[in-house]
Amino acid sequence: MYKRYILDSKIRVITEHIPYVNSISIGLWIGSGSRYENTANNGVSHFIEHIMFKGTKNRTAKQIASEIEELGGQINAFTGKEATCFYVKLLDEHFDVGIDVLSDMLLNPKFAMQDIEKEKSVIQEEINMYEDSPEDLVSDILSIATWGNDSLSYPILGTNKTIKELDREKIINYFNKTYIPENIVISITGNFDEDKLISKLNNTFGTLKNNNKFDFSLSYPAINRDIIVKNKDIEQIHVALTLNGIELGNDKLYTLLAINNYFGAGTSSRLFQRLREEEGYVYTIYSFPSAYKNKGIFNIYFALNEQYINNAMELVLSEIKTMLKNKMNSDNIVKAKEQLKGNYILGLESMSSRMFSLGKSELMLGKVFEPKEILNKIDMITIDDVNEVIDIVFKEGIFSAAAVGRNVDEYKFKDALGGII
C-alpha cells in the first residue's frame, strides 16, 4: 500500500513499504527537463543534474560517491524532457546515509565556477558521444521534425553552443525557479521503519526554504509534417517515424501499450516478424509510445542497409494500413493484455522500478495507482477501446520522419515514405 506525506517544507513524499526485502530505493524527483527550457538555456536541466554531483558545502564529489558505494549501494541520476531524478539504492539499514547525501546535494550545492567550466567539457563530450550513436542521433533529429520550434524538440543534453554559453547566473536562476518544494517529489520503496524514515526526511528535506513559485506553462504543440535527414559516414541507415499518440495520464495509454505489444514492441510483434524474420531487411525494429503532459506520439525505429530502404518502408506502410483496416481480433487483444500485465508484474519485482514508477506518477500526475488498479485498467480494455485507439494512432499515418546514414537522399527518402509527408 502506498502512503503519501507532506514534509514541513511542503515537499511531497510517496512511500511503499515492502517488508520482505533488505533494500531501499530512494528517488528525488524534480519537475525539470528540456521542455521547460528555452533557446538560451537549453541543456541547463541536464547540466544541473551533473553539477550537483560535483560537491556540496559539506562533501566533495568523491565523498558523494564513496559514502554510498562503500556501503555497497549505488547513486545516479537522469534527466528527461519533463523530469530529473537523483536516486540511491542501499541496504535498508543504511537508509539514513542515502537521505543525508541526497538532501545535502539538494540543499547545499556549490555551483563552483571551476566545476562549471570543467563540466562543460564533460557534457560536450557526452553530446559528441550521442552524435556517434546513430540511434540516439536520429531520435533527436526526429524530435525537431516532429515538434519544430516547440521546446519538446529541444535535445535533453543541449547543444555544444548552448552549453558553451551557459554561465553560473543562468544555472542558479533556473535552479532557484525549479528546485522548489512544490516541484519536488521523494519516492521510496523497500524495507524501512516508517516513523524513523519520515522523521529523517523532515530533519533534512523538510528544512528546504524557497519562496519562488513554479510558473512554467505548458504548450499544446501540434505534430508537424516534416522530414529531416542527416548524412553520416556509417554502415546503416537509421530511420525514425512519428505517428499520433496518447498523452500522459490518459487511460487510453494502457490500450495503446497493449496495441504496441502486438504491433511492434517485441520479437513476436508484426513489425519484427514481417521485416526481420520473414524478409531479413533489418536487424533491429521496434515501436513505442512517447507520452508527455497534454501530448503524445507513437514512434517506429529501425536500421538497415540502404538497398532495403524502399522495400522496408513499403512493408511498414503496409503494416500501418493493415492495422487500420483489420484492427486486432479478440485472441490478439487477450494475448496483448496478458503480455502487458506480465511485463508490469515482473517490473514490480525490482525496488528501483517501483520507486521510479511511484515518483514519476506523483510528480507528473499528482496521483499514484495501486498495482491492482493498474491491472484492472488493463483487464477492462475492450475491443471497442482498441479500435478507437488504433484509429487515433494510425488513421492519419506518418506525420514526421528522420533518417541518418551515408549519403541519404532526402528526395528518395520521401519517395520511400510514399509521398505521404
Among all residues, which ones are annotated catalytic? Answer: 49
Q: In the structure grid, which three cell numbers stand for residue 323, read together?
A: 492495422
Which of 121, 138, 123, 148 has the alpha carbon at shortest distance from 45? 123
CA distance 352 to 24: 8
Asked if 285 contacts 270 with a C-beta cutoff of 8 angstroms, the reply is no
- The alpha carbon torsion through 265, 271, 277, 281 (nearest 10 deg) reads -120
Q: Are 17 and 192 in contact (CB under 8 A)?
A: yes
**H/E element, 342:** helix 330-347
Q: How far apart are CA 141 and CA 320, in angstroms?
A: 22
Classify residue 342 as exposed, middle or buried by CB count within 10 Å of its CB (0-12, 13-18, 19+): exposed
Cell numbers for 39, please give them: 533557446
Q: How many helices (H) and strands (E) does the chain have?
A: 16, 11
Cell, residue 241: 517515424
**What is the rounded radius of gyration, in angstroms, for the C-alpha atoms of the chain?**
23
**CA atoms of 3 and 300, how far apart (whole Å):** 38
Amino acid occupying residue 413:
F
